[in-house]
Amino acid sequence: MQVQALQTTSAGSTASCRSRARTVRVCATATVSAPAPTAQPGCKDVCNVAVLGASGYTGAEVVRLSALHPHLKITALTGDRQAGKAFSEVFPHLVTAADVPSLVKIDDVDFAGVDAVFCCLPHATTQKIIKALPEHLKIVDLSADFRLADVNTYAEWYGGEHAAPELQKEAVYGLTELYRDKIRPARLVANPGCYPTSVQLPLYPLLKSKLILSDDIIIDSKSGVSGAGRSAKEANLYVEIAEGINAYGVTKHRHMPEIEQGLSEAAGKPVTISFTPHLMPISRGMQSTMYVKLAEGASVDDLRAKLIESYANEPFVRVLDKGVVPHTRHVRGSNFCLMNVFPDRLSGRAIVIAVIDNLVKGASGQAMQNLNLVMGYPETTSLMQLAMFP
Amino acid sequence: MQVQALQTTSAGSTASCRSRARTVRVCATATVSAPAPTAQPGCKDVCNVAVLGASGYTGAEVVRLSALHPHLKITALTGDRQAGKAFSEVFPHLVTAADVPSLVKIDDVDFAGVDAVFCCLPHATTQKIIKALPEHLKIVDLSADFRLADVNTYAEWYGGEHAAPELQKEAVYGLTELYRDKIRPARLVANPGCYPTSVQLPLYPLLKSKLILSDDIIIDSKSGVSGAGRSAKEANLYVEIAEGINAYGVTKHRHMPEIEQGLSEAAGKPVTISFTPHLMPISRGMQSTMYVKLAEGASVDDLRAKLIESYANEPFVRVLDKGVVPHTRHVRGSNFCLMNVFPDRLSGRAIVIAVIDNLVKGASGQAMQNLNLVMGYPETTSLMQLAMFP
Amino acid sequence: MQVQALQTTSAGSTASCRSRARTVRVCATATVSAPAPTAQPGCKDVCNVAVLGASGYTGAEVVRLSALHPHLKITALTGDRQAGKAFSEVFPHLVTAADVPSLVKIDDVDFAGVDAVFCCLPHATTQKIIKALPEHLKIVDLSADFRLADVNTYAEWYGGEHAAPELQKEAVYGLTELYRDKIRPARLVANPGCYPTSVQLPLYPLLKSKLILSDDIIIDSKSGVSGAGRSAKEANLYVEIAEGINAYGVTKHRHMPEIEQGLSEAAGKPVTISFTPHLMPISRGMQSTMYVKLAEGASVDDLRAKLIESYANEPFVRVLDKGVVPHTRHVRGSNFCLMNVFPDRLSGRAIVIAVIDNLVKGASGQAMQNLNLVMGYPETTSLMQLAMFP
Amino acid sequence: MQVQALQTTSAGSTASCRSRARTVRVCATATVSAPAPTAQPGCKDVCNVAVLGASGYTGAEVVRLSALHPHLKITALTGDRQAGKAFSEVFPHLVTAADVPSLVKIDDVDFAGVDAVFCCLPHATTQKIIKALPEHLKIVDLSADFRLADVNTYAEWYGGEHAAPELQKEAVYGLTELYRDKIRPARLVANPGCYPTSVQLPLYPLLKSKLILSDDIIIDSKSGVSGAGRSAKEANLYVEIAEGINAYGVTKHRHMPEIEQGLSEAAGKPVTISFTPHLMPISRGMQSTMYVKLAEGASVDDLRAKLIESYANEPFVRVLDKGVVPHTRHVRGSNFCLMNVFPDRLSGRAIVIAVIDNLVKGASGQAMQNLNLVMGYPETTSLMQLAMFP
């Protein structure tokens, strides 16, 4: 049973971080494992941040979200091909942002004064660049490079030897709600992929509690186009995408092993899934429709109850009222994940639906959430904007 | 193996129908059960048609397609609330159509001079109106009223006693490729729903040939908004639909029993399915992604081969080359169904994808195909327009 | 010449309002008439707000923006037809908002504890309701009812006698940047229409300074569909709007007299305009492309210089760099207005382009800006979210 | 007064072309200069066509339209970078087209057996390639290379010396309704640009008849994205275009001199225009909203009457009923141009609105119309498909 409770994430207090943290009203239900609502003692009042690879959509989102963050100060934005340009030339919607530096080459950044880095670079490149970064930096990496614990799996799916296997060992997988305690002390956080976020948030607790079977999970996912990035490809032109939908990467999508890694951990044994992503004519938004088999004796209500219990205290995850269907448009621009469980007409089965904004909870928002953890700020800082509809 | 063959649907001949039939080039492969490429002897040179309920999208599509038909002449368009209006007031995109009568009330139609009727009325209403129509009329009904052979199933899903059970017995289900021989002599054709068309075309032959199991069929369908019709509902406003997706009618969609009826016939035993429709921000287009279990000994290649064989000679169904993914945008505005079969990562499973334009093969196009059959015209008449992309 | 300056809208101070105001970084240029960056002494720490007519898009935007406001507390949401429903039933994207009351009938609101009202009701209704509200309330009215100073003009364009002419005299027109000093002490603010906002912001200073002629102003405006509201109309269905554009209300749009009223004041004489609005397949966003004639001796550069000077110190208005074209997508979800001036190929003419988000600066955002003024909060409070792109 | 008349474009007759021409019903009004409804004596029964540069959208449209043409046979499709691919790999929506050859390099085409060519290549390249083509070919060029009669104007706007000035002299400008008699005997037709088509069709007769002034024409045009072609550019990605609009090429668009050339001819003196194109989030469709000054004594009704008279007999141009606003969605996929004239609120002014599908009447449809003329087929052959809505 969900009991709404008002909870402010910045208690009035004397610590320097707290005094600048803004008051946000979080809607949550009281349970045990809530994220710490206040800043950690000793956290930095100003965190100087560099965004590497800032000319893509995830980089722009980091900048957009930073504008509501009282502690982050962006001191460097890199983009090797666009170096020298004002950021507003590359992202004119941010022309009204204050204090945004021009783009520079990554080699021209002086990391001495930098505290933390969002790494928004393409995979493979990322490994080499992170390897060369100074040790004092906190890093949230939005690429796929450090998400797969097994470097052989990485090599198999990404087509090349991993260049930094020792860093891979150090990296912490950043699905915040599931690995909060490991993320907090981490130096390098591997921010999850968008599909894996939308799948693991609902299925992890269900597998962990053995309410669903692990050998018959069918995932039909639908994603907005921004997930494909900003590089100019014929297939992603407006005219190619509008007024149509299609499956892609059938059985071959690179998020597959990442999902299987997480679900295997939850199930305590290797899990293989059926996963078919679809491309939608929307800019943002992702839905995973998951067809699962109930364990002996488990009911649809048990699944809902487990998810409600698991996320009762989480500010960004919400199990909707019974029968209410999540829409991607209801999380647009926000860091929320909405989910629900439905009975299937096939007996012994259930349908789980989860939606996120692929650029926020599926990328830059979760990255910010992780940086907040790592830096000791209240986890929700700069992330409590509500969804924008229409 | 597909062998392309040029086939003209109007052989130069002496029969009156043939002489006016235009030459279209049909791409097909030679097999046994091809649709008759020429008009039947004795068919009417001019078929006078009334469209009942012409103020909705399916009505407009019938008119659009008729403009390319050398034998159809629309002599009445009905729309009770819009009676008296020029058709171009209701559908301004048809202002350039010639010879289109104004809308009248259904009671004001003189059916004496009418040969055939497209019935585009809402369900429930339809039964009563068709019951009252003169017996000489050929009728293609686009509503759901005569699709379910069992009137009890109708009552269960549509919430009311069937008003014309005797007509229900007479009605022939109009999935053209599967029931061509029954449709030809029919007086009343129950034109299939859009979802059922997209599902049965691929799954019927697979179940019939026992290549897939009948007790574990999971269907994740995606539809454009035009399927919801033209009536003004808040949920279908541009602003409510754009830039978002959602599931709807989970386990409760009315096309469910229609699909199950067809698949049960194919399997030779009662089939229950998992069916989850999703609403897409596109006007036209429908995709069904079907997750099926292979029968013992069957392979993905066997499934593809069966579909290729089944539809080798069909002008409107096309199994794509191995590995090629169907897109809804590739059938936009056309009467084609594209399909393919893919291996699943879960062993013993396959993924079947089919796409149609919900307003054409899923409604008015298939209705025209059926009327052509019933009237003895070449089945493809007025339907060979290629898809419009972009 | 624009000189960027960091300016925080909440100076650390002792007043209660200030202490809770969050730090936002405003990008502005130093001039004389800047909005007060700090809260007024004696302003209320908590402002209890009722939103009347909360079931439309502007109501939802008010709630969305309120969530980032440290002083506003929404204590009543009215919606006569939806009374009794949870707000998240009506606007599921706000399910994650905390502390949002359920909808009630307007007659059931106890205004005793309410400090301020956003009135989001339809025109005509509004007059009567506002007339009946207690005098202690501060009111920002988003309808058209109090925008036209001349009640005869109102009667002519809105088709009915004005029911509250005495209130009309009291009402202050709320185009914040132009009437800030009058708005501050007002009890009733008539929030401007979206088109009038996008036109007056650029043209008012140009007419006032006599840089352009007042008798040859041609305005071609383009608007997103949300401007049409949430009521279910066939014309605004997704399928009717998508993939097409059209002019509407040619020479007859009701925003015409409002625009002419403002421009006449600026010109010091009656101004008649050519105004043609167009409907775009976008949910949010508005652009006005204005074709103007230069006054004798005036140049395009003079126009740009005048706009830069006029808005140098304004947090929400930005004249773009020379040659840079404003896009509606660059203000999506934000309270900003971007504008620029371009040379025309016809000599003696210039082209002025301005863009806003019709629901924010064109409606609820400006309403919030006005409430902030009226209540004594820093004007930018809750409004510094950057545009969301993509 | 418009009197609708049914007119069949293929009279039953003995000429070979006629016998295969299909019956289409054209809605037109009787006047003097109607396009010849029947094929010319001696025209070829089969016209072998090569499409040069077939991998772009205009090439695909030519192929789509050809499928309904009883005389055209596509014998070569060129695309240098895609040579060797099946056409359906490049345009999967045409997978169902019969008889479509694979792409080859232009140098590999044997033009001996080719009768006519659609040239869909980029400007500059085109000149050189057409110069090298055999003289027996009929050519319809969709590029801008031969549209400007003055090669100096070409050099000024397209940034380079014209490589085939002698061919330029021979080329006939292909705005069919205005230059039909010159096009018929032409060897090289310069198919007009989309903006120039949408502007000249309405304004040419008005200027010619001196009903409007030539020195104060303001054109605000709106175009779909397909006009930008299929090449992969960041600016045309789905995510960059969706949910936003913007002006572009302000005062600098290359269609400017083409429009001015045509209007100057009509006015009998040099005409300079104000022309501002805007990019819309639609794939197809173009609207020009034209603000014109009435000549002394002329009225809005005079303008309408002149347009009605001018196009009374034209199958593809339609002046709508008084007060009815043209929408781009009402010509989608069709070769029609809808137009109307409206009073302006500024006295002495009028507003003219015209809409076309930029890929059909604005490109490939008009090209087909021109080829029909040149080859002696009924002008409407393969072009009578009605608009597709939704």
Contacts of D241 in chain A (CB under 8 A): 238
Q: Does A388 map to a domain? A: no
Answer yes or no: do B128 and B220 share one domain. Answer: no
What SS3 class is residue B209?
Answer: coil
pLDDT number for residue B17:
52
CA of A233 to nearest chain D CA: how many angstroms apart? 5
Answer yes or no: do A174 and A234 share one domain. Answer: no
Phi, psi of B93 (to 5 degrees): -70, -10
Q: Which chains have 3+ CB pairs within 8 A of B?
A: A, C, D
Q: Does C205 map to a domain? A: yes
Q: Which H, E and C letters describe chain D, residue by residue?
A: CCCCEEEECCCCCCCHHHHHCCCCEEEECCCCCCCCCCCCCCCCCCEEEEEECCCCHHHHHHHHHHCCCCCEEEEEEECHHHCCCCHHHHCHHHCCCCCCCCEECHHHCCHHHCCEEEECCCCCHHHHHHHCCCCCCEEEECCCCCCCCCHHHHHHHHCCCCCCHHHHHHCEECCHHHHHHHHCCCCEEECCCHHHHHHHHHHHHHHHCCCECCCCCEEEEEECHHHHCCCCCHHHEHHHHCCCCEECCCCCCCHHHHHHHHHHHHHCCCCCCEEEEEECCCCCCEEEEEEEEECCCCCHHHHHHHHHHHCCCCCCEEECCCCCCCEHHHCCCCCCEEEEEEECCCCCEEEEEEEECCCHHHHHHHHHHHHHHHHCCCCCCCCCCCCCCC
Q: Which chains have 3+ CB pairs within 8 A of C?
A: A, B, D
pLDDT top residue among D244 and C3: D244
Phi, psi of D235 (to 5 degrees): -65, -20
Amino acid at D333: G
pLDDT number for residue C26:
33
Answer yes or no: do C69 and C88 share one domain. Answer: yes
Residue of D234, D239, D279 to mutate, testing the A interface (most A Cβ within 10 Å of its Cβ): D239
Q: Is the pLDDT of residue C84 over 60?
A: yes
| Residue B35: burial class (beta carbons within 10 Å; 0-12, 13-18, 19+) | buried
Catalytic residues of A: 194
Contacts of B55 in chain D (CB under 8 A): none
Q: Is the pLDDT of residue D176 over 90?
A: yes
For the segment B176-228, what is each residue's pLDDT rounded down to a tens digit? 999 999 999 999 999 999 999 999 999 999 999 999 999 999 999 999 999 99
Q: Is the pLDDT of residue D270 over 90?
A: yes
Q: Does C385 map to a domain? A: no
Give the count of Cβ contacts less than 8 A between chain B and C. Answer: 61
Contacts of B4 in chain D (CB under 8 A): 98
CA of B103 to nearest chain C CA: how many angstroms apart? 18
Give the structural domain span for D32: 5-192+362-375
What SS3 class is residue C218?
Answer: strand
Contacts of A24 in chain C (CB under 8 A): 67-68
Contacts of B324 in chain D (CB under 8 A): 92
CA of A355 to nearest chain C CA: how many angstroms apart? 12
Quote the tokens at residue D85: 């691919």
Contacts of C283 in chain B (CB under 8 A): 238-239, 242-243
pLDDT number for residue B34:
65
pLDDT number for residue C16:
44
CB contact under 8 A, D26 and B91: no
For position B350, which CATH number holds?
3.30.360.10
Tens-of-pLDDT digits for all 390 residues of chain B? 232 333 333 333 333 454 343 433 333 332 335 687 788 888 999 999 999 999 999 999 999 999 999 999 999 999 999 999 999 999 999 999 988 999 999 999 999 999 999 999 999 999 999 999 999 999 999 999 999 999 999 999 998 899 999 999 999 999 999 999 999 999 999 999 999 999 999 999 999 999 999 999 999 999 999 999 999 999 999 999 999 999 999 988 999 999 999 999 999 999 999 999 999 999 999 999 999 999 999 999 999 999 999 999 999 999 999 999 999 999 999 999 999 999 999 999 999 999 999 999 999 999 999 999 999 999 999 999 999 999
- Of the candidates B264, B273, B265, B255, which has an alpha carbon nearest to the alpha carbon of residue B219? B273
User: What distances in angstroms separate CA C68 from CA A26, B85, D111, one per listed residue?
Assistant: 11, 51, 69
CB contact under 8 A, C318 and A384: no
- Does the CA dihedral D170-D175-D181-D184 come out positive or negative? positive
Give me the residue from D4, D20, D331 closest to B23, CB to CB: D20
Q: Does D108 map to a domain? A: yes
Give me the residue from D4, D23, D67 closest to B386, CB to CB: D67
Answer yes or no: do A91 and A182 share one domain. Answer: yes
Question: Among all residues of chain D, which has the CA nearest to that of A234?
Answer: D232
Contacts of B25 in chain D (CB under 8 A): 67, 98-99
Question: Among all residues of chain B, which has the CA nearest to that of A354?
Answer: B246
CA of A324 to nearest chain B CA: how many angstroms apart? 10
Q: Is the pLDDT of residue D3 over 90?
A: no
Answer yes or no: do D341 and D267 share one domain. Answer: yes
- Of the candidates A333, A140, A316, A123, which has an alpha carbon nearest to the alpha carbon of residue A226? A333
Answer yes or no: do A185 and A294 share one domain. Answer: no
pLDDT number for residue B35:
82
Q: How confident is the model at residue C87 (pLDDT cuts 50, 70, 90)?
A: very high
Residue of B82, B231, B238 to mutate, testing the C interface (most C Cβ within 10 Å of its Cβ): B238
Contacts of B22 in chain D (CB under 8 A): 22-23, 70
Q: Does A383 map to a domain? A: no
pLDDT number for residue D33:
53
Which is catalytic among the residues C119, C120, C194, C337? C194
Q: Does A382 map to a domain? A: no
What SS3 class is residue A157?
Answer: helix
Please name the residues in contact with B200: beta carbons below 8 A apart, sequence gap of 6 or more.
B175, B178, B192, B259, B262, B263, B266
Q: Does A179 map to a domain? A: yes
- Of the candidates C138, C142, C147, C144, which has an alpha carbon nearest to the alpha carbon of residue C117? C138
Q: Is the pLDDT of residue D20 over 50?
A: no
Q: Is the pLDDT of residue D28 over 50?
A: no
Q: Which chains have 3+ CB pairs within 8 A of D?
A: A, B, C
- Does the CA dihedral B36-B37-B39-B45 come out positive or negative? positive
Catalytic residues of D: 194
Q: How confident is the model at residue C34 (pLDDT cuts 50, 70, 90)?
A: low
Q: Is the pLDDT of residue A32 over 80?
A: no
CA of D246 to nearest chain C CA: how many angstroms apart? 5
User: What distances in angstroms separate CA D133 from CA D118, D119, D126, D142, one per listed residue?
Assistant: 12, 11, 11, 16
Which of the 8 DSSP states describes residue B163?
S
pLDDT top residue among A33 and A123: A123
Residue of A272, A292, A329, A347 to mutate, testing the B interface (most B Cβ within 10 Å of its Cβ): A329
Give me the residue from D4, D96, D388 closest to B388, CB to CB: D388
Tell me how far apart the alpha carbons of residues A275 and A220 are, in angstroms, rounded to a whole number. Answer: 6
CB contact under 8 A, B351 and A222: no
Amino acid at C231: S
For the segment D141-174, what is each residue's pLDDT rounded down to a tens digit? 999 999 999 999 999 999 889 999 999 999 999 9
Answer yes or no: do C27 and C47 share one domain. Answer: yes
What is the pLDDT averaged over residues D67-93? 96
CA of B238 to nearest chain C CA: how many angstroms apart? 3
Which is catalytic among the residues B47, B119, B194, B337? B194
Tell me how far apart the alpha carbons of residues C75 and C104 are, in angstroms, rounded to a whole number. Answer: 11
pLDDT number for residue A5:
33
Please name the residues in contact with C297: beta carbons below 8 A apart, sequence gap of 6 or more.
none
Give me the residue from B64, B97, B318 closest to D96, CB to CB: B318
Give me the residue from A237, A243, A281 closest to D237, CB to CB: A237
Tell me how far apart the alpha carbons of residues A15 and A38 are, in angstroms, rounded to a whole number. Answer: 10
Give me the residue from D230, D239, D281 closest to A234, CB to CB: D230
For the segment C200-221, what is each residue's pLDDT rounded down to a tens digit? 999 999 999 999 999 999 999 9
Quote the tokens at residue B78: 């009905």
- Of the candidates C202, C174, C192, which has an alpha carbon nearest to the alpha carbon of residue C311? C202
What SS3 class is residue C114?
Answer: coil
pLDDT number for residue D22:
40
Angle at which helix B365-375 crosses helix B57-66, to 10 degrees, equals 50
Residue in the structure block whose two tokens are 């090289």: D188
Answer yes or no: do D209 and D186 share one domain. Answer: no
Give me the residue from D274, D353, D390 closest to C247, CB to CB: D353
Quote the tokens at residue C368: 């919030």
Q: Which chains have 3+ CB pairs within 8 A of A?
A: B, C, D
Answer yes or no: do D243 and D332 share one domain. Answer: yes
Residue of C237, C248, C282 to mutate, testing the B interface (most B Cβ within 10 Å of its Cβ): C237
User: What distances in angstroms separate CA B202 from CA A357, B267, B356, one per listed residue?
Assistant: 33, 13, 12
What is the pLDDT averaged over residues A324-353? 98
Tell me how far apart the alpha carbons of residues A61 and D43 are, in angstroms, rounded to a whole number. Answer: 62
For position D48, which CATH number holds?
3.40.50.720
Mean pLDDT computed over every residue of chain D: 91
What is the pLDDT averaged over residues D335-348? 97
pLDDT number for residue C251:
84
pLDDT number for residue C17:
52
CA of D356 to nearest chain B CA: how many angstroms apart? 12
CA of C38 to nearest chain D CA: how many angstroms apart? 34
Quote the tokens at residue A172: 């912490």
Looking at the structure of chain A, the number of domains it has is 2
Mean pLDDT computed over every residue of chain C: 91
For the segment C329-384, what is each residue's pLDDT rounded down to a tens digit? 999 999 999 999 999 999 999 999 999 999 999 999 999 999 999 999 999 999 99
Contacts of A332 in chain B (CB under 8 A): 243-244
For the segment B129-183, what is each residue's pLDDT rounded down to a tens digit? 999 999 999 999 999 999 999 999 999 999 889 999 999 999 999 999 999 999 9
Answer yes or no: do C56 and C185 share one domain. Answer: yes
Quote the tokens at residue D286: 């173009």
Quote the tokens at residue A65: 């979200």
For the segment D284-301, what is each residue's pLDDT rounded down to a tens digit? 999 999 999 999 999 999
Chain D interface with A: residues with Cβ < 8 Å: 57, 225-226, 230-234, 236-243, 281-283
CA of D233 to nearest chain A CA: how many angstroms apart? 5
Contacts of B57 in chain C (CB under 8 A): 239
CB contact under 8 A, D242 and A238: yes
List the strands of the sheet with A72-78, edge to edge.
A103-104, A72-78, A47-52, A116-119, A138-141, A188-190, A172-173
Give me the residue from B225, B226, B233 closest to C232, CB to CB: B233
Q: Does C27 map to a domain? A: yes
CB contact under 8 A, C386 and A96: yes
Answer yes or no: do C208 and C117 share one domain. Answer: no
Residue of B214, B246, B320, B355 to mutate, testing the A interface (most A Cβ within 10 Å of its Cβ): B246
What is the pLDDT averaged over residues A78-83? 95
Quote the tokens at residue C261: 């009223």
Answer yes or no: do C174 and C313 share one domain. Answer: no
